[in-house]
Amino acid sequence: MALAVSRDFLNFQSDRIERVLASHRVPVRVHGGTVSPRWIRFHLTPAIGAKIATVRNLSEELALALGAADVRVARDGETLALEVPRVDAEPVRLLPMLKGMGNIPSLTACAGLAEDGRPLMLKLNSPDVAHILVAGATGSGKTELIRSLVLSLAITNRQSKVQFALIDPKRRGLRGLAVMPHCLGPIAEDPRAAIALLERLVAEMERRDHEGIDTPHIVVAVDELADLIMVGGKPVEIALVRLAQRGREAGIHLLAGVQKPSASVIGGMLKANFPVRLVGRVGSAEDARVAAGVSATGAERLMGRGDFMAVAAGQTVRFQAAWVPPMDWDMALRRL
């Protein structure tokens, strides 16, 4: 993947930003920025007294001047960030990323490429991770991210180290993973099968607690958590809450995706047990708040197609999610 953008181009765009805002009597200074596979972020320092709302209201003029379909203005600490989509945007392919990283620690999933250009890795058995919630509306790349997290764990860990229990009420998101030798059994695609699988996992958790063991680690991947809870009812919710609360010590981890993270569907007790939230584009600021667990992340203004935020331990990291294109699937499965 090519992240390089010429310095001349960046300087040219910086000058345009300053000129457009100065013409509207909003003097700013552009001082550096960040280049990602999908967008370029310019860091802006407005003059004292300049109104942030004025800069936001000029987004159309800025987009026109920069030759972009749209731009995003957001707070970035004590400065402003102006994000411009790249016309030469490239996807972040999982397999080349893994190949270029050398030795990857065990139980570590690759989520994608962070805004600083480094791989974003999630170590499941870390106390700060344990369970992961992936939220995003249609077109955000939520299901592709879940598949990439599962595949990256399967490729870099033997079956004796990690195994998977797959639940897919929609019957299409995780189906391609069913052939993995790491799977504990068939994908649970209906409420009865899901309840039986979750009850089996709760019993396994209790056995491990009694015997003081936590291996092999089991990742319970659910493609649509809200749909599963709605069709499965209380038995499903109770089992999920028990696994979320006590699963980490027994080596059982939840990786759950949700399209619309409504507080009324996903109870507070369940949400509180996901230390890591990977949030793609959602429909509203309220959905963004529920998904991320904090306010003002701006997730409702993300670009979609793999543009995500990782929220954990009070910090937020923007990243482009890794994905496995159709041409890479056979190669990925041969590496298992």
pLDDT one-digit tens code per residue, 1-56:
445 678 899 999 999 999 999 999 999 999 888 888 888 999 999 888 888 888 98
Tell me: the pLDDT tens digits for 61-92?
A: 999 999 998 898 887 777 898 999 988 888 89
Provide the H-helix boundaries in the chain: 7-23, 52-57, 59-66, 94-100, 142-156, 191-211, 225-246, 268-271, 285-292, 326-334
pTM for this entry: 0.89
pLDDT of residue 265: 67
Name the architecture of domain 92-334: 3-Layer(aba) Sandwich (3.40)
H or E segment and range at residue 79: strand 79-85
User: Where in the chain are all domains bearing CATH 3.30.980.40?
Assistant: 7-85
pLDDT at 136: 94
CA distance 169 to 189: 5
Q: What is the pLDDT of residue 4?
A: 64
Q: Which residues of the chain have pLDDT under 70?
A: 1-4, 263-265
Q: Which regions of the chain carry the CATH code 3.40.50.300?
A: 92-334
133 contacts 278 by C-beta, under 8 angstroms: yes
Q: Residue 166: which of 241, 149, 262, 123 has the closest Cα? A: 149
Amino acid at 292: A
Identify the CA nearest to 107 among candidates 92, 127, 136.
127
7-85 carries CATH number 3.30.980.40: yes
What is the pLDDT, as a whole number, of residue 250? 97
Amino acid 102: pLDDT: 84
